[in-house]
């Protein structure tokens, strides 16, 4: 007999989406079946070795010319130092990038954010790849990579992190994406790098793990007004506002913004913390300086400096990623903070993250989002995060894991 309580809290949309997810595994992937990625048919085959699926080839064997695009389009390399080029990428993404399942919200990464995300230490301009319409010169598609060191078990592997794949809405389903993926792969190979990491909301062959987004309301009235959340059963607006109320200032003594002088201590703290996860980013001081020093409206980092010893004992960070609210007469933008890397050694993880919520509320964010990666599970429910309906799948290119990870075994957050 069906369990009515399970049936009741499962909407038709959820059932349909789960069914589609299941079917997409059975579906053929004309492009992905040709790529060195874990294939669905190999799931559970523990005889396959862990590590690169294909060996690196001599650089002289890497194709020297770009892949062919349909004749009306041409490749362009995007110089993110140029304001004009940066604006073109920004506008393409603002109008055509990722939306939620119900098409109510669309990511609106800021120009400063894109500059930060695409120019880390050692970045390659050749990995910032655009496609233009030949006649109008309009930018119609984009894909990017940045270099990163990612540790898989005991091995630190040089990889490309691939992000911001976007094809203009009017040019969808024309198989442009596979050509763009092949072209970025070629340009990554030219730098003698043979692996990549990426995330997507869609299921492809084959996720190394599947994470869930959780959301903590900071401005519940607005979130309800714009349809991001719903008033709970037996809840009024005023009870809801009270439920999510936070103190005006952080409570942990010694809690302050990270500064340049903190880079060595934060690097030690993070490296030590991340060493316990099966797959994790391998940050050195240069990376920490780039990825974690606060940048206004891009990334925020706070730490706890012990008032007695002046040691840096705890750290939390989040990045700024607003979404455009589509078709709402009263609001245009949802201000969201996304949990990035957090480490607690002396402060309780709960109190540390509550302080992160407090400062993000003070900064005017409407919602604080976090994935169930690393030790995040331990604070989500208690700090009144609710599970979202979006899933995020993590992938490696040309690197096989013998078995999938749990989200809590992942120490990697992509933007």
Catalytic sites, residue numbers: 415
Q: Is 185 in the site for ligand MYA (CB under 6 A)?
A: yes
Task: Show the DSSP H helices in 171-284 as ranges.
Answer: 176-189, 220-225, 237-243, 263-274
Stretch that binds ligand MYA, among 108-116, 181-189, 234-242, 327-335 (CB under 6 A): 181-189
Q: Can you name the residues that pair with 281 across neighbouring β-strands?
A: 150
Which pair of structure tokens corresponds to residue 355?
Answer: 């302080």
Q: Is 32 in the site for ligand MYA (CB under 6 A)?
A: yes
SS3 per-residue string spanning 298-325? CEEEEEEECCCCCCEEEEEEEEECCEEE
Q: Is 177 in the site for ligand MYA (CB under 6 A)?
A: yes
Q: Is 173 in the site for ligand MYA (CB under 6 A)?
A: yes
- Binders in 89-148 for ligand MYA, by CB under 6 A: 96-98
- Give min distance, CB of 295 to ligand MYA, in A: 22
Stretch that binds ligand MYA, among 9-17, 130-138, 173-181, 336-344 (CB under 6 A): 173-181
CA 32 to chain centre: 21
Query: In which region does residue 51 sit, left (phi positive, over 0), alpha (psi from -120 to 50) or beta (all else)?
Result: left
Q: Judged by CB under 6 A, which of 131, 162, 265, 405 binds ligand MYA?
A: 162
- Give min distance, CB of 36 to ligand MYA, in A: 8
Prior bond of 207 cis (ω within 30°)? no
Cβ nearer to ligand MYA, comparing 172 with 257:
172
Q: Judged by CB under 6 A, which of 2, 12, 26, 202 binds ligand MYA?
A: 202
Cβ nearer to ligand MYA, comparing 96 with 209:
96
- Binders in 316-335 for ligand MYA, by CB under 6 A: none
Q: Kindly list the distances between the CA atom of residue 372 and the CA atoms of 142, 177, 214, 375, 381, in Å, as whole numbers in the listed order.
A: 29, 29, 7, 7, 11
Write out the H or E segment, with its range, that includes residue 7.
helix 4-8
Three-state secondary structure call for residue 282: coil
Q: Judged by CB under 6 A, which of 5, 12, 26, 30 binds ligand MYA?
A: 30
Q: Judged by CB under 6 A, which of 118, 152, 167, 352 binds ligand MYA?
A: 167
Could you tell me which residues come within 8 angstroms of residue 238 by beta carbon, excluding any fewer than 6 positions away? none
Longest Cα–Cα distance in the chain: 67
User: What is the spatial distance between Cα 123 and Cα 143, in angstroms, rounded to a whole number?
Assistant: 14
- Give min distance, CB of 144 to ligand MYA, in A: 8
Q: Judged by CB under 6 A, which of 78, 80, 117, 166 binds ligand MYA?
A: 166
Stretch that binds ligand MYA, among 167-175, 293-301, 340-348, 358-366 (CB under 6 A): 167-175
* Cα angle: 77, vertex 171, 72; to 5 degrees: 60
Cβ nearer to ligand MYA, comparing 89 with 358:
89
Could you tell me which residues come within 8 angstroms of residue 24 by beta carbon, excluding any fewer than 6 positions away? 202, 203
Q: Is 181 in the site for ligand MYA (CB under 6 A)?
A: yes
Q: Is 397 in the site for ligand MYA (CB under 6 A)?
A: yes
Stretch that binds ligand MYA, among 163-171, 236-244, 262-270, 385-393 (CB under 6 A): 163-171
Cβ nearer to ligand MYA, comparing 160 with 357:
160
Three-state secondary structure call for residue 383: coil
Which pair of structure tokens corresponds to residue 265?
Answer: 């201590």
Stretch that binds ligand MYA, among 131-139, 189-197, 295-303, 377-385 (CB under 6 A): 189-197
Q: Judged by CB under 6 A, which of 105, 113, 124, 198 binds ligand MYA?
A: 198
Cβ nearer to ligand MYA, comparing 32 with 75:
32
Q: Can you name the residues that pair with 131 across neighbouring β-strands?
A: 75, 141
- Give min distance, CB of 346 to ligand MYA, in A: 37
- Give min distance, CB of 206 to ligand MYA, in A: 12
Could you tell me which residues come within 8 angstroms of residue 261 by beta carbon, excluding any fewer than 6 positions away? none
Burial string for 239-249 (b: 16+ CB within 10 Å, else e) reads ebeeebebeee
Positions touching ligand MYA (CB under 6 A) are 29-32, 96-98, 160, 162-167, 172-178, 181, 184-185, 188, 194-196, 198, 200, 202, 204, 397-398
């Amino acid at each position: 007999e069906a369990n009515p309580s399970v049936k009741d809290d499962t909407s038709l949309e959820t059932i349909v989406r789960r069914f589609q997810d299941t079917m997409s595994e059975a579906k053929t992937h004309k492009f992905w079946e040709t790529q060195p990625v874990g294939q669905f048919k190999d799931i559970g085959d523990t005889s396959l070795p862990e590590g690169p699926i294909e060996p690196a080839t001599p650089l002289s064997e890497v194709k020297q010319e770009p892949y062919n695009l349909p004749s009306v389009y041409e490749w362009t390399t995007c110089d993110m130092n140029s304001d004009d080029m940066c604006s073109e990428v920004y506008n393409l993404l603002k109008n055509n990038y990722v939306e939620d399942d119900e098409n109510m919200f669309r990511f609106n990464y800021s120009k400063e954010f894109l500059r930060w995300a695409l120019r880390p230490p050692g970045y390659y301009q050749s990995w910032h790849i655009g496609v233009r319409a030949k006649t109008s010169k309009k930018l119609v598609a984009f894909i990017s990579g940045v270099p990163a060191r990612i540790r898989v078990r005991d091995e630190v592997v040089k990889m490309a992190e691939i992000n911001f794949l976007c094809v203009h809405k009017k040019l969808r389903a024309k198989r442009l994406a596979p050509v763009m993926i092949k072209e970025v792969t070629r340009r990554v190979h030219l730098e003698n790098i043979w692996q990549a990491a990426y995330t997507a909301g869609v299921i492809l062959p084959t996720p190394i793990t599947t994470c869930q987004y959780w959301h903590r309301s900071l401005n519940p009235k607005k979130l309800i007004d714009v349809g991001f959340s719903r008033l709970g059963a037996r809840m009024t607006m005023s009870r809801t506002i009270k439920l999510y109320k936070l103190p005006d200032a952080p409570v942990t003594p010694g809690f302050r913004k990270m500064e340049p002088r903190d880079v060595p201590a934060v690097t030690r703290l993070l490296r030590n913390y991340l060493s316990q996860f099966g797959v994790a980013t391998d940050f050195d001081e240069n990376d920490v300086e780039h990825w974690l020093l606060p940048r206004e409206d891009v990334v925020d980092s706070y730490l706890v400096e012990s008032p007695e010893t002046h040691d840096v004992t705890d750290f939390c960070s989040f990045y700024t990623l607003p979404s455009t609210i589509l078709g709402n007469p009263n609001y245009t933008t949802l201000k969201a903070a996304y949990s990035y890397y957090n480490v607690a050694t002396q402060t309780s993880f709960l109190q540390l993250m509550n302080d992160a919520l407090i400062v993000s509320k003070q900064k005017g964010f409407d919602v604080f989002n976090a994935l169930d990666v690393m030790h995040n599970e331990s604070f989500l429910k208690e700090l009144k995060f609710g599970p979202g309906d979006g899933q995020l799948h993590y992938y490696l290119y040309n690197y096989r894991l013998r078995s999938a990870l749990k989200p809590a075994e992942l120490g990697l957050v992509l933007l």
